[in-house]
């Protein structure tokens, strides 16, 4: 049973998993794959406060995702090569504080139905802002790359 939504605090740490492929080939972050917001849907991050072991818990979840992804790749007859390489982390307030000149930014929403640690980031606009353009969205995605700057690399045990 999952809990109710809670407010993510300004100093709470949020982490984004990195996978190669496609995000981190050769040890270099590919910005366009870090946050994609496909069809304007949310993007998942991990709320560290909801894990007993903070960044170690983030890595544990990343390794679990790697194992599931590789199992699926193998079942589909593909090379099981999806690799969790670590996570980038920031404070929630750093995300919420950013607004571009048109008033567009990111909304942070706890989504416990996908796990008590699960948070989604969504595009967000202030009331009265002009419609969000593709350029606005690209600007926001690039800003998120800078905001999530604290990298903790990891190698999953086999």
pLDDT digits (tens, 9 = 90+) for 39-67: 999 999 999 999 999 999 999 999 999 99
Distance of CA 46 to the CA centre of its chain: 7
In the chain, what percentage of residues exceed pLDDT 90? 85
Token pair listed for 103: 């008033």
Least confident of 20-29, 32-41, 80-89: 20-29
Q: What is the mean pLDDT of residues 21-27?
A: 80
User: Residue 28 pLDDT > 70, yes or no?
Assistant: yes
The pLDDT score that the predictor gives to residue 1 is: 43
């Amino acid at each position: 049973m999952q809990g109710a939504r809670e407010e993510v605090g300004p100093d709470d740490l949020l982490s984004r998993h990195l996978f190669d492929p496609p995000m981190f080939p050769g040890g270099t972050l590919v910005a366009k794959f870090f946050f994609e917001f496909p069809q304007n849907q949310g993007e998942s991050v991990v709320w560290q406060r909801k894990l007993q072991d903070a960044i170690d818990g983030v890595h544990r979840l990343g390794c679990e995702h790697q194992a599931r992804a590789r199992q699926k790749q193998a079942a589909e007859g593909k090379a099981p090569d999806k690799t969790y390489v670590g996570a980038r982390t920031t404070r929630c307030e750093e995300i919420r504080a950013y607004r571009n000149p048109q008033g567009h930014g990111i909304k942070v929403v706890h989504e416990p139905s996908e796990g008590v640690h699960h948070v989604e980031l969504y595009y967000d606009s202030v009331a009265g802002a002009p419609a969000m353009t593709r350029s606005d969205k690209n600007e926001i995605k690039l800003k998120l790359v800078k905001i999530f700057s604290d990298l903790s690399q990891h190698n999953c045990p086999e």
